[in-house]
Amino acid sequence: MGIKAYRPITPGRRHYTVSDFSDITREEPFKPLCVPLKKKGGRNNLGRITAKYRGGGEKRFYRIVDFMRDKTGIPAKVVSVEYDPNRSARIALVCYADGEYRYILCPEGLKVGDEIASGSNLPIRVGNAMPLSDIPVGVEIHNLQLYPQSKSFLVRSAGTAAQILAKEEGWAVVKLPSGEIRKFDLRCWATIGRVSNAEHKDISIGKAGRSRHMGIRPRTRAVAMNPVDHPMGGGEGKSSGGRHPCSEKGIIAKGYKTRNPKKKSSKLIIRRRK
């Protein structure tokens, strides 16, 4: 895995970099696990924009990824490592011993032909999924459940990993990629290893047209707007207006805490992210 750069024969190519896709072993997705992905252009069910600067982009199929890893007791073999346009990480197609195929998040170091499994009392090997109670302290994990029996929501981006710091009285103390240290129930499941495609963060988009292919529209600076459109708009010439940076709804952008202090899960957070 690496990053490919181009000779600057045009201004758009000068800073344009892409992944070399050397880890990809199959180009076409597994059709039974693909569903059409309808674009919404940032609109809700009323047709009103709720997420700005979205629209257009290439047509995609959504790959159904198994985030729960709930097929326990049955070993699986990695069939291929594939590109997924809907996420930064790679995905792996695995075939279980009973013939079922599933997509999983591909951890770093997982190769075609490797065997993985889900369940308790398994060896600590990259790609194996198990409860936090079975994972030793200090091991890197990803695809972490927030609550027992839930879908895995945490540590799924390319190159990320969490680490178990300690275990105490039914809880595991885990350090997340954001720097937050939080308690998790020992019954929560996680997968061993670090998520693949770590060089994703170093890729330069290079030109505006590539953002449009990704479904990202141009962004208008707040200080360039009129007062009716944004709290930071208006003023004479190129003035910033002297206003504190804020969102369109007036929520302060720097240093203002938006988390509800009465949220029940706050007692599980030992140290907030930086």
- CA 255-259-264 angle, to 5 degrees, is 150
Predicted local confidence at residue 237, as pLDDT: 83
Here the tokens at position 94 are 């695995």
Q: What is the mean pLDDT of residues 174-181?
A: 96
pTM of the shown model? 0.90
Residue 1, pLDDT > 80, answer no
Q: Would you give the DSSP letter of residue 156?
A: -
Predicted local confidence at residue 242, as pLDDT: 75
Residue 241, pLDDT > 70, answer no
Contact of 188 with 101, CB cutoff 8 Å: no
Contact of 52 with 42, CB cutoff 8 Å: yes
Report pLDDT digits (tens) over 59-79: 999 999 999 999 999 999 999
Domain 3-201 fold = OB fold (Dihydrolipoamide Acetyltransferase, E2P) (2.40.50)
Q: Which helix (H) or strand (E) holds 11?
A: helix 11-14
pLDDT averaged over every residue in the chain: 94
Residue 236, pLDDT > 90, answer no
d(CA 238, CA 261): 39
Contacts of 182 (CB under 8 A, 6+ apart): 173, 174, 176, 268, 269, 270
d(CA 228, CA 232): 10
Residue 58, pLDDT > 70, answer yes
Report pLDDT digits (tens) over 104-163: 999 999 999 999 999 999 999 999 999 999 999 999 999 999 999 999 999 999 999 999
Q: Which helix (H) or strand (E) holds 209?
A: helix 208-213
Residue 274, pLDDT > 80, answer no
Contact of 80 with 109, CB cutoff 8 Å: no
Q: What is the mean pLDDT of residues 19-34?
A: 95
d(CA 247, CA 234): 15
Residue 18, pLDDT > 70, answer yes
The Cα-based distances of 125 to 117, 192, 239, 259 in angstroms read: 9, 6, 57, 37
**For the chain, which residues make up each domain, given as ranges?**
3-201
Proportion of the chain above pLDDT 90, given as a percent: 88
